[in-house]
Amino acid sequence: MITLSTEKGLVRIESWEDVESRPGFTRNLDPSTAVLAEIIGQYHFKDMFPCGLAGCRQPHAKGYLITTKDGRETNIGNVCGVRYFSVEFKQLRKVFRVSREDQERRERLHALQSRVAGLRGELHALRNGSPTLQSLQVHIGVLLGRTGGLPRGVREAIARTVRSGTGALTYERVLTKLERDRLRAAQEGAGNASRGSIPTAVEEQVGHLLGFTALAAGNDMRTLLLAIETALEQLMTADVDSLDSRALKTLSKLTSSIDPALTSLRGARANALKLLAAANLRQLEVFTDSPSERRVLRDFIASAAAGLAAQRQPAAVA
């Protein structure tokens, strides 16, 4: 395929026949008499085609489409361009690259601008749906120990789960004397090479927390939402066609995060719903040490369940 840079934007040509049929195209340009005007396109095909310079004719699959001062066009490879046109070719190649990158960025930004209304509508639904994003984030904040007063053992168990990256709920259990004696006997039976200190406790898995990735720092829903809204605000107010190369690059970099952040936001919300389900959170009761701690945890579970219940209520019919 060949990509042409024109005043109206990028034009993509699929076949080599279309290249050769362009007005002014020649297959045998004499570089000794030609004066290079500009590079207007870059191509990359599966098949190989002869270089358009009379002194070369070496087949190649990728290169540039150039024009001369007298209006002719031909195709040349990168090596031929430097060999026959030297510094001038290098300068025009840089100008073409910048122009192409600018036009590609404009294409992407225009396409993204056409989606703004839909993106804003989805953000509104994610933010204000039942349960609201704020409600989900508040309950997640409690689980992370930012607010509220969940029992220490529960908070520590959740922290271990987040660090593990597996969702496993683990509990440290003190070994009985019999278990330690058996370990010691096993070491002695295996010989001196395996001897070491006998552990006093073991870590056992007692559950698996669904939706635990909603607790990860990179899935903070408020942060993701703010990043998307900030990028959309700048995109909506931008006059893309009048931006210079530097501004185009800056805006393209900022807005390139919109779709990945939106995907993360959707996933974080879905995982938050799994995480805050009552049956899922009840697994944490094993980490409480007293009736009062269990009451605190159950109150939190009830609060989270009330928010999820709102999601299941049918919409009122006017």
- In the chain, the percentage of residues whose pLDDT exceeds 70 is 92
Using the predicted structure, report yes or no on whether residue 67 has a pLDDT greater than 80.
Answer: yes
End-to-end CA distance of the chain: 56
Q: What is the pLDDT of residue 4?
A: 66
H helices, E strands: number in the chain: 11, 7
Handedness of CA 33, 37, 39, 45 (dihedral sign): negative
Contact (Cβ atoms closer than 8 angstroms) between residue 225 and residue 265: yes
Tell me which of 292 and 5 has the higher pLDDT: 292
Extended beta strands in the chain, E state: 2-6, 9-13, 36-50, 59-68, 73-76, 168-174, 201-208
pLDDT digits (tens, 9 = 90+) for 70-91: 999 898 888 888 888 888 889 9
Q: Which residues contact 128 (CB under 8 A, 6 or more apart)?
A: none
What is the rounded average pLDDT for all residues in the chain?
A: 87
Distances (CA, A) of 195 to 45, 177, 187, 189: 66, 18, 5, 10
pLDDT digits (tens, 9 = 90+) for 232-242: 999 999 999 99
Using the predicted structure, report yes or no on whether residue 310 has a pLDDT greater than 70.
Answer: no
- Rounded-to-10 torsion of CA 177, 178, 184, 190: -170
CA atoms of 304 and 136, how far apart (whole Å)? 8
Q: What is the pLDDT of residue 199?
A: 80
Q: Count of alpha carbons within 13 Å of 133, Cβ hemisphere only?
A: 20
- If one counts every other C-beta atom within 10 angstroms of the C-beta of residue 212, the result is 22
Angle at 276 (CA atoms; ends 271, 278), nearest 5 degrees: 135
pLDDT digits (tens, 9 = 90+) for 133-178: 999 999 999 999 887 789 999 999 999 999 988 999 988 778 888 8
Where is 145: in which H helix or E strand? none
pLDDT digits (tens, 9 = 90+) for 253-288: 999 999 999 999 999 999 999 999 999 999 999 999
